[in-house]
Amino acid sequence: MKDMSTLVLTIIGLLGGLGLFLYGMNIMADGLQKSAGSKMKKLLSILTTNRFLGVAVGALVTAIIQSSSATTVMVVGFVNAGLLNLLQATGVIMGANIGTTITSWIVSLGEWASFLKPSTLAPLAAGIGAMMFVFGNDRKRQAGEIIIGFGLLFMGLELMSNTMKPFQGSQVFRDAFQTMGANPILGILVGLIVTAVIQSSSASVGILQSVASLGLVPWNAAVYIILGQNIGTCVTALLSAAGANRTAKRAALIHLLFNITGTILFAVGSVLFFRFNTGFGAIPVTLTGISIFHTIFNVANTVVLFPFSKQLVHLAEKLLPEHKTAAGDEIAEEKLLKRLDERILNNPGFAIATTVEEVLKMADLTSSNLRLCQQALMERDDALVQRVFEQEDIVDRSEKEITEYLIKINEESISERQSHTVTALLHTINDIERISDHSENMAELIQNYIRQDLHFSEVASDEIRTMMNMVRDNFEEAVNVRRQYDFRKAESVKRQEDAVDSMEEDLRFEHINRLAQNACDTRAGVIFLDLISNLERVSDHCVNIVEAAESEL
């Protein structure tokens, strides 16, 4: 009965320690993400332009979010959204494996100096972090969050180690790890299963280190378990890819192929090494030893396999070929890839940067509508009017999707500045959509103008052309404020809006005089007045766009 009670308490202690470890890792990752949020757009641009730097970015992002599984899921989202191709994704995935080693090095700090031991560092970090979080400004709160997470991580590690101490002299545990050391397949399976269940290689390595701190784990068992952990970490991405397109599924498969290939190579090498160095394999592994092997494995695996990235991509394409019809023609899974993929929400900084790009594309489509309206009016081309209607539907759908996505981002753990950006983007897409609505209004007016075979006077034609140019230029300038964060242009947009207001008043007055003098067709005159009214409202929304951008500061 006493043994059963001890077992139950041990299980509870291990679960509690693991929970604290995972929660601390999550809090630390949230704080790091908030701190790095403003740099995510730059990292995203690196990802899409240089596959070599993609390895570094993958390592950096994983070090920030403390999970190679989360990074790989995010990469699957990027591929599904069309932001990355498979070759670029391969570099990021390889880098993610390197970045995940940072957690094991944090855990092994206690072996370097007594004041870095979890029992000393955990309460100190939690206390300092809590003070900064409660009493600091936004920047200090983020730093406090990171330090609190650091403290909780160490508390979890300490709790797991203390829970296992009664078994320190247990021959059963020693025999179990010796068996795994003598049987590579068993050791790899144990590492794989544990990591697949908790879906975090960082956490499973942390568990291994907590047991190793008691001197129970020999070197050979630790090596095989770590190799299995690197395969187990692929499970999260494979599950995530289940609802993605075929290209994204291939990205998850590349992750699996990469880790399996590395595991096979290192397993064969390790078996040969331990066969000729049996004494070394039986030596208890240290926490730092685990960190060293974990790092060597992931770095070496990347160095060896990175030159074969294209071959990994080709293999994934062969294993997951395109679906074909009976006639043999390939079926395109999606003509329009949904860029706002929910997998990217794992990193709000990246999600916001991706959303900004989508907002700018929505703005470019709206700018195209303004140009088409002017072209349709001058060339009397009804086909151009139809294009405005088609593009306006796309803008409407984009506004709805982006709004829903921004709401989901807002539900994530984001910094105060990121929250301001989300709010500003919500206002911005509303203004862009309203401008597109005014384009549609103008297109309908122009369609009536064409079909009724109406004509403006030469003076009226020049006036409407001038105003259309002014408003379109002002909108593009407002979008550039958002695109480049160049707030010097904001004042220019506001001045131009004042000029448009004055022009609208002057043109309305002059045109009413022309109508009174029968110098212009009445039906055409009504359309003229409605056109300049819509243009003036477009210019109002331009000011709203730059003010929304300014509100982020």
Query: What phi and psi values does residue 551 have, to the nearest 5 degrees?
Result: -70, -15
- Cβ(17)–Cβ(157) below 8 Å: yes
Residue 196: count of CB within 10 angstroms of its CB: 20
457: left (phi over 0), alpha (psi -120 to 50) or beta: beta
- Joined tokens for residue 512: 């009413």
Share of the chain above pLDDT 90, in %: 38
| Distance of alpha carbon 147 from alpha carbon 22, whole angstroms | 14
Residue 358: count of CB within 10 angstroms of its CB: 18
Q: What is the pLDDT of residues 98-115, one digit of tens each?
A: 988 888 888 787 777 666
- Cβ(207)–Cβ(160) below 8 Å: yes
- Cβ(245)–Cβ(80) below 8 Å: yes
| Distance of alpha carbon 69 from alpha carbon 199, whole angstroms | 7
- Which of 43, 36, 29 shows the shortest CA–CA distance to 202? 29
Q: Among all chains, which residue has been given the structure tokens 């230029």?
A: 473
| Distance of alpha carbon 107 from alpha carbon 313, whole angstroms | 35
| Distance of alpha carbon 239 from alpha carbon 69, whole angstroms | 11
520: left (phi over 0), alpha (psi -120 to 50) or beta: beta
Beta partners for 330?
324
Q: What is the pLDDT of residues 184-213, one digit of tens each?
A: 999 999 999 988 888 777 788 888 888 888
Q: What is the pLDDT of residues 247-305, one digit of tens each?
A: 888 988 999 999 999 999 999 999 999 988 878 888 999 999 999 999 999 999 999 99
Please report which confidence band the pLDDT of residue 6 belongs to, taking 50, 70 and 90 as the band edges. Answer: low
Amino acid identity, position 250: R
Give the list of residues 6+ apart from residue 490 with CB closer than 8 angstroms, or none. Answer: 481, 546, 547, 549, 550
pLDDT of residue 41: 60
Minimum mean pLDDT among 21-25, 294-298, 384-388: which range?
21-25
| Distance of alpha carbon 26 from alpha carbon 153, whole angstroms | 9
Query: What phi and psi values does residue 330 have, to the nearest 5 degrees?
Result: -70, 140
Three-state helix/strand/coil letters over 497-513: HHHHHHHHHHHHHHHHH
| Distance of alpha carbon 405 from alpha carbon 397, whole angstroms | 12
Q: Of 74-83, 153-162, 207-216, 333-342, which has the strongest mean pLDDT?
A: 207-216
| Distance of alpha carbon 493 from alpha carbon 488, whole angstroms | 9
| Distance of alpha carbon 201 from alpha carbon 308, whole angstroms | 24
Q: What is the mean pLDDT of the chain?
A: 84
Residue ranges of the alpha helices (H) in 37-137? 40-47, 51-65, 68-81, 86-99, 102-107, 118-135
Q: What is the pLDDT of residues 417-426, one digit of tens each?
A: 888 899 999 9
- Cβ(197)–Cβ(235) below 8 Å: no
pLDDT of residue 335: 38
| Distance of alpha carbon 126 from alpha carbon 145, whole angstroms | 9
| Distance of alpha carbon 199 from alpha carbon 234, whole angstroms | 9
pLDDT of residue 181: 80
Query: Taking residues 480-497, what's their average pLDDT?
Result: 86
Domain chopping of the chain, boundaries: 2-319, 347-550
Residue 332 pLDDT > 80? no
Cα 107 to Cα 147, 292, 515: the distances in Å are: 14, 12, 82
Q: How many residues does the chain have?
A: 553
- Which of 384, 227, 391, 214 shows the shortest CA–CA distance to 296? 227
Cα 320 to Cα 164, 316, 317, 405, 549: the distances in Å are: 45, 6, 5, 30, 44
Q: Which CATH class is domain 347-550?
A: mainly alpha
Q: What is the dihedral of CA 186, 188, 192, 194, to 10 degrees?
A: 60
- Cβ(93)–Cβ(230) below 8 Å: no
- Which of 222, 191, 111, 192 shows the shortest CA–CA distance to 157? 111
Residue 1 pLDDT > 90? no
Q: Which helix (H) or strand (E) element contains residue 171?
A: helix 171-182
Chain centroid, CA 273 distance in Å: 41
Q: What is the pLDDT of residues 48-61, one digit of tens each?
A: 667 788 888 888 88
